Structure 1
Amino acid sequence: MSDSAIQDVAGLQTPDEDHQKLYLARGTGPYRRASLALFLSGFATFSLLYCVQPLLPIFSQEFSISPAESSLALSLSTGFLAIAIVCAAAVSEALGRRSLMSISLVGAALLTVAAALAPDWHLILVIRALQGFVLGGVPAVAMAYLAEEIDPRGLGATMGLYVGGTAFGGMSGRVLTGIFAEYLSWRPALFLIGAIGLAAATGFIALLPPSRNFVGRAGFDPQFHLKAWMGHLRNPALPFIFTIAFFAMGSFVTIYNYAGFRLVASPYGLNQTELGLIFTVYLFGIGASSVGGILGDRLGHFTILSIGIVITAAGCALTLSASLPLIILGIVVLTSGFFMTHSVASGLVGKYAAGTKGHASSLYMLAYYIGSSVMGSAGGWFWAMEGWTAVVIFTLILMALAFFSALAAQRLVLRPS
């Protein structure tokens, strides 16, 4: 059997003969296993991370704290996750992509169970911060794994599937937690989400193929990692793509954090199950992330990126309505636009990063989660001062900044060298 035939059977191909890289080819068994495994990793990561979001009004009431303070249960996780992502890129160079992601998923699931058993608010915050730090081993490393192992001609579609997994996880964590909390209270709800996350982690470990193109580095060389990060920051376009992640994620999380406070109050008076079911709109995010990746491959990534940002802003504006159906429609629209934006932007990082893609991905995710942490909590100040109108104005400003960042990145990429 020829070398090319062997590669076809194994699900590998070498589109770049100069580098002799063995890529997972679309339509093969290893490609499908990798896609499903990364889908499970996205599901577990985001269900564990965002399961507390529908519980914020409950935390505010049970522990007698403000909405902004209750948001720390999420903001601390995303903030420490942002810090950990930078460390994860370095650690994965020595430990390996697959091993680090496996340890992170199992650890985060067990910490969710621990949060369910924590006796007081401050301990919950400590556990949630630690959980965010542990989860940092997944997002940037997952993106790096895909960029290294998947045939570049199908990377957009695969990245879209991974982001779709994050959308499904974010939806499931929110919806299931809301339903469980309604009938069982919030502690059993967190316990069950932790158990589900552990099952997804087990599936991920069983399915993910070993890395073929990853070359590890023994030990820890600070100069190497600093040089890699600085190299990506000196790339003309990449810092603007990182900025898009910061503003888009900040806007998205702000809407989701404080929509619950608005909708459980008069005149809407939604219960936890009804509030949780609103998060089924994440299904639209799953579809939009995949569609965004595919359309980006076909029509141009920056075109679809700008469209996604505009759709997100339109959804934010729609939530200004006093009509519950229109508020829900607005959440549908902004969710679709956000995941389209994120899918394309994350794919652009892998496309334009020159080497050390794990480091480039870590910078993207650093900006992404700092936006979630800082802007998600800052939105509470606007909610406390002027209510929902102020929250929406705040998010529209963020999306305008994301749009101009996309235009700047596009000009720099297309500029003649």
Structure 2
Amino acid sequence: MSGKPLRAAFFLCGCAAFLNLYATQGILRELAAAFGVSAEHAGQGVSATTLAVAIIAPFVGTIAAPYARRTVIAGAAMVSALPALWAAHAGGFASFLAARFAVGMLMPFVFAISVSFIGECFSREEAAEVSALFVAGTTLGGFAGRFVTNACVAGLGWRHALDVVAALSLAAGAAIYAWLPRQAPMQAEARARDHVMPSRLQLFTRPSLLAAFGFGACVLASQVATFTFAGLRLAQPPYRFGTAQIGAIYAVFLLAMVVTPLAGRIARHRSPRDLAVWAAWLALAGALLTLAHGLVPILLGLALGSTAVFVEQAAANAFISQTTDAARPTAIGLYLSFYYLGGSLGSVLPVAAWRLWGWSGCVAFVIGAQALAGLLAWRFWREDARQPASLLRARALMR
């Protein structure tokens, strides 16, 4: 398989990676009523999932190494339907959180191995573009998981709504297995490099990668904070959104499905650093727009902010992929760990600000996280990161 079918397969991998991840984010009031907890505590259903991703992600490359890429990606997507069903029919809040944690333990095998597989299937220039297409797939998956759940709540109840999402995960995994090649053809040089893998400690000594890890944490923290508390804000007067309406606000993610692939094409000619910094500015503008009281500027601000986050994610994927060579699976795993650790904090840290200052407090948190992300990319990501790490080492030896 090559060309457009293979690109479509990686787009579907992105969908599968995010389909289950945030499915409970828009039904916090239903979860709170079912389990007898506050809506803020119900948000821990998202935190539990992202925390599990943060814990398991650094080890995904090692665990998955003996197996075919296609088997790992498709298998994780299909098996995730089981803990999703568990969460749908949990008898208590602790059981629900445990199920959501189990979902999170499987998702890195879809995300990290897909990004690594892209690097093996395509040239550096093509990989940046396909990575952006993969991130566009995560946009659709994140939207579909939230939207389908909320849309089904009225007719089916939240438990059967999550059953539907579990069925979609199973179907996506089966399609991925059918569409992806078993393994990408690797050149002899690439195989040789795979035997000399830098340790995790060595990766932590590279300031640019450390900055990328921190960048990812800030980016997802801002995203999770925005959409966890935006739903609570719009449920209050004067908006009084119902569950289905709150689910519909995630349609703003669809803008990123158009913008992110375009950003991937730009990434073929500009550095990931440029892309990340400009996206951070866009996120700041979006956050400030949501302070308005009119529904239109709020939705526009949410659209700009979410689009910026997905472009930032594409930029980070490209940066890490271009600077790690054989260490790519390990580096992506570590990046995911920080990324989702930031996501876990994004639904917890703003709680105090939400209670004290409402939406303004959440926006202050988002602005701080995005400003730090932009600063890390601007300060530590270098223009020469556009070149493969092996080429940079060769140039260094020639000096």
Matched, 1:142 2:121: no
Residue identity matched to 1:128: R
**What does residue 252 of structure 1 align with?**
223
**What does residue 211 of structure 2 align with?**
240
Contact 1:85–1:136 under 8 Å retained in 2: yes
Matched, 1:177 2:149: yes
Q: How does 1:308-319 map to 2 (within 5 A)?
A: 308-319=279-290
Matched, 1:370 2:341: yes
Please give the alpha-carbon distance, in whole angstroms, between the structure 2 residues aligned to 1:75 and 1:214. Answer: 37
Contact 2:273–2:383 under 8 Å retained in 1: no
**What does residue 339 of structure 1 align with?**
310
Residue identity matched to 1:147: G
Please give the alpha-carbon distance, in whole angstroms, between the structure 2 residues aligned to 1:47 and 1:36. Answer: 16
**What does residue 165 of structure 1 align with?**
137
2:238 to 262, 267, 271: 267
**What does residue 363 of structure 2 align with?**
392
My pick for the range that moved more, 88-97 or 161-170, is 88-97
Question: Does the C-alpha gap of structure 1 residues 407 and 210 become closer, same or farther in structure 2, counting only changes over 3 Å?
Answer: same
Q: Point out where structure 2 has 5 or more consecutive residues left out of the alignment.
A: 188-194, 386-391
Measured against aligned partners, the alpha-carbon deviations of 1:212-252 in whole angstroms (never above 9, x if no partner) come to 3469xxxxxxx987x43222222331111111111011101
Please give the alpha-carbon distance, in whole angstroms, between the structure 1 residues aligned to 2:214 and 2:27. Answer: 29
Please give the alpha-carbon distance, in whole angstroms, between the structure 2 residues aligned to 1:294 and 1:412. Answer: 17
Contact 1:54–1:260 under 8 Å retained in 2: yes
**What does residue 388 of structure 2 align with?**
none
Question: Does the C-alpha gap of structure 1 residues 270 and 385 become closer, same or farther in structure 2, counting only changes over 3 Å?
Answer: same
Contact 1:54–1:178 under 8 Å retained in 2: yes
**What does residue 43 of structure 2 align with?**
71
1:288 to 259, 276, 281: 259
Shift of residue 96, structure 1, vs aligned partner: 3.4
Residue identity matched to 1:310: W
Matched, 1:104 2:76: yes
Give the TM-score taking structure 1 as reference length: 0.87
Matched, 1:154 2:89: no
Please give the alpha-carbon distance, in whole angstroms, between the structure 1 residues aligned to 2:2 and 2:325. Answer: 26
Please give the alpha-carbon distance, in whole angstroms, between the structure 2 residues aligned to 1:91 and 1:31. Answer: 29
Identity, % of aligned positions: 25
Residue identity matched to 2:153: A
**What does residue 26 of structure 1 align with?**
none
Contact 1:68–1:380 under 8 Å retained in 2: yes
Contact 2:68–2:182 under 8 Å retained in 1: no
Question: CA RMSD, aligned part only?
Answer: 2.0
- Provide the secondary structure at the position in 2 that maps to 1:377: coil
Matched, 1:348 2:325: no
Q: Point out where structure 1 has 5 or more consecutive residues left out of the alignment.
A: 1-28, 216-222
Measured against aligned partners, the alpha-carbon deviations of 1:176-220 in whole angstroms (never above 9, x if no partner) come to 1111012221011000111111111110010001223469xxxxx
- Provide the secondary structure at the position in 2 that maps to 1:30: coil
Contact 2:129–2:267 under 8 Å retained in 1: no
**What does residue 87 of structure 2 align with?**
115
Please give the alpha-carbon distance, in whole angstroms, between the structure 2 residues aligned to 1:142 and 1:377. Answer: 29
Q: How many residues align?
A: 381
Contact 1:288–1:337 under 8 Å retained in 2: no
**What does residue 350 of structure 2 align with?**
379
Please give the alpha-carbon distance, in whole angstroms, between the structure 1 residues aligned to 2:327 and 2:228. Answer: 34
2:269 to 298, 306, 310: 298
**What does residue 320 of structure 1 align with?**
291
Please give the alpha-carbon distance, in whole angstroms, between the structure 1 residues aligned to 2:262 and 2:236. Answer: 36
Q: How does 1:206-221 map to 2 (within 5 A)?
A: 206-213=178-185
Residue identity matched to 2:61: A
Please give the alpha-carbon distance, in whole angstroms, between the structure 1 residues aligned to 2:142 and 2:220. Answer: 13
My pick for the range that moved more, 204-213 or 253-262, is 204-213
2:328 to 341, 350, 357: 357
Residue identity matched to 2:138: T
- Provide the secondary structure at the position in 2 that maps to 1:293: helix
Shift of residue 365, structure 1, vs aligned partner: 1.0
**What does residue 43 of structure 1 align with?**
15
Please give the alpha-carbon distance, in whole angstroms, between the structure 2 residues aligned to 1:395 and 1:106. Answer: 34
Contact 1:238–1:353 under 8 Å retained in 2: no
- Provide the secondary structure at the position in 1 that maps to 2:260: helix
My pick for the range that moved more, 329-338 or 36-45, is 36-45
Please give the alpha-carbon distance, in whole angstroms, between the structure 2 residues aligned to 1:35 and 1:380. Answer: 40
